[in-house]
A and B are shown apart, each in its own frame.
Chain A
């Protein structure tokens, strides 16, 4: 569902209009663009490089450095599993394995139908309730593989109805 050039252009103009083009604004700009589009379209990166007056390679370098900046479109639903130390001690790898097998994708991947993205995160700071996961923005503590699957099923069921 790529954006038609004109539409992308218009929405980008609107976002960039709120900034003055300083180099230090690069990350906030990319975060805003990602909020708007869900990822960072290539055309947007080119436009940002002109706006700030830095090489495209610099914008790409920054965009690819940070875990939360995405160069590819994400799925409609996002599962984020914590791989922090406490979560690992309390069995987060079982959650990751279960999610991988149920969704048929690896960490960091999106299903071909763009329904699901599976991610891991360094630490959510929810360690007291390890292992933890986020599904579509909602934080769950004391997660089990069974609970995770039922949440996935519930989301899928809800989408069909």
Chain B
């Protein structure tokens, strides 16, 4: 495919897109989260309804808009009116909505979440003015819930491959400069500047280089990457293509966790479509750049989210991390220089190339530029995925976007950053969320998973649960992690079972120190964080467990509440 052919295809795509939007049509959010609460049943009911009534109407299966709390979500669009998004669209409710809105042109305010598009409808707010959406800046998520994820024409109609087109007209050094000026940092949690990683790979001489997309979103309590992969897979592939061109790789790998079968399926379809039109393969857009993508399915090992373990797994080995340096950017897959980037990082790259570094850096803080997607879950009124400027406070995120507690109990803390993150008490919710600002709490932003806990959660038991997780998932290669998690778990089990000792807290802290310093990879280094942060912020709960044999949350069954 040449640049002219791409432009032509885009013209067709935009025509089709306009045509779709000039006719009545219905969308249904069909990602794993929607399916888990009946989106497929809703979809079937909609098709049955339309067949029975003999109504011709396009039904578009879109991805997840992020308002997971209201799923299944559907929308109805009629010409001359804004689209209306509806929540909790069970099969019965979907039929009722179609009857009233689609057939009788009477939008159903009672079930509506909001309107999208020009114009307004009495009694229904603009969706982007509603509490969960209002403070969001949706860039990464701009297509999620609005396009058919594997439909290349939808991607092209919404600016897809503009970034690649521009990148291919630039020198790699100019792309690096663009990313440097943007200030994009890795979204997987560590926050390493993306341009620097790419530059190291460029500067390491080698006959072959690789780019790898880390789509193994193993952290429990986070599903940002899943939503992106299932709702906008082409953006990740376009990012990978740009990375490949920049560092001089002709092969890219996507390592997708086995826990995400739908993401795998949609990536497979998207890769096939790109191969079909020549956006993957030889001489892409007449640039002389050739690139192929290999989709690798994980086999279920949390530690494979660590980049050197992930590389070992692609090579067909046990997924065990190795000491760094050398970093993969210098010596990675089959010992060749390899860039490993997270899904969200790569998905952002085409947007930056398309709109420019300054556009990206409009939002965020001095050191943490741009917007970031977060998943908000647990005891919160509106769980889902949101995208906000880095630097927004936890309180804004939880109270305003999330709507506060979903129970009558008070929110007590959040668990942030995956099992290696930490627990932050409610009293510290005014801290901004970015790469550095949470450091005083002992926790970290990580990949952006925020799990809200109310007074029904016992913080000692939560620490025990998270350490148990790390203990299960420790690969066993290095001693501090293998034995440290085991010993910490034993101590925490003792405390939660009423057999705690006064010396336990000090002992936990000592083990934690050794693990932080001595562990080979991030898993072992970060595993003690939930224990250390709960000791720091909820020491009274530990002491109650140990001294009074009391668990105020009533979780630890062996103790009184």
Contacts and interface: CB of A to CB of B under 8 A. Distances in A.
B451 A86 contact: yes
Interface in B312-361: 313-319
B442 to A, nearest CB: 17
A55 interface: no
Nearest to B315: A24
B300 A83 contact: no
A83 B223 CA distance: 14
Given A31-B297, A86-B220, A90-B378, A126 B473 contact: no
B466 interface: yes
Contact of B37 (A61, A66, A86, A142): A142
A67 B299 contact: yes
B36 A141 contact: yes
Given A83-B220, A83-B469, A86-B451, A130 B378 contact: yes
A85 B375 contact: no
A122 B68 contact: no
B493 interface: no
Contacts of B317: 62
A127 B383 contact: yes
Interface string B500-533: 0000000000000000000000000000000000
A27 B315 CA distance: 9
B319 A127 contact: no
Interface in A122-146: 122-130, 132, 139-142
A26 B312 CA distance: 12
A122 B318 contact: no
A125 B217 contact: yes
User: Chain B interface residue count: which class?
Assistant: 35 or more
Contacts of B379: 89-90
A129 B36 contact: yes
Contacts of A130: 377-378, 383
Interface string B362-388: 000000000000011111000111000
A84 B462 CA distance: 11
Interface in B154-176: none
Contact of B457 (A31, A69, A89, A125): A89
Given A85-B419, A90-B379, A141-B33, A127 B221 contact: yes
B223 A127 contact: yes
Interface residues of A, number: 40
Contact of A139 (B35, B220, B453): B35
A23 interface: yes
Nearest to B40: A138
A85 B71 contact: no
Contacts of B453: 89
B37 A141 contact: yes
B259 interface: yes
B311 to A, nearest CB: 11
Nearest to A137: B261
Nearest to B64: A128
A65 B316 contact: no
B218 interface: yes
Nearest to B419: A85
A88 B465 contact: yes
Nearest to A141: B36
A132 B315 CA distance: 32
Interface string A49-80: 00000000000011001111100000000000
Contact of B299 (A61, A68, A126): A68
Given A27-B313, A123-B259, A66 B36 contact: no
Given A122-B259, A128-B223, A23 B300 contact: no
B499 interface: no
Interface in A5-26: 22-26
Contacts of B68: 128-129
Contacts of B375: 127-128
B302 A122 contact: yes
24 contacts: A66-B298, A68-B258, A69-B299, A82-B220, A83-B220, A84-B220, A85-B449, A85-B466, A86-B377, A89-B457, A90-B378, A121-B300, A122-B259, A122-B300, A122-B302, A123-B218, A123-B223, A125-B33, A126-B33, A127-B221, A127-B375, A128-B377, A128-B385, A139-B36
Interface of A: 22-28, 30-31, 61-62, 65-69, 82-90, 121-130, 132, 139-142
Instruction: Give the 10 A-B residue pairs with the shortest CB-CB distance, closest first.
Output: A84-B220, A128-B68, A67-B300, A68-B300, A141-B36, A66-B299, A125-B223, A85-B221, A123-B220, A26-B316
Given A85-B415, A124-B32, A125-B223, 15 more contacts: A65-B301, A66-B298, A68-B299, A85-B449, A85-B465, A86-B220, A88-B465, A89-B378, A121-B259, A121-B300, A122-B300, A123-B218, A123-B259, A125-B260, A128-B384
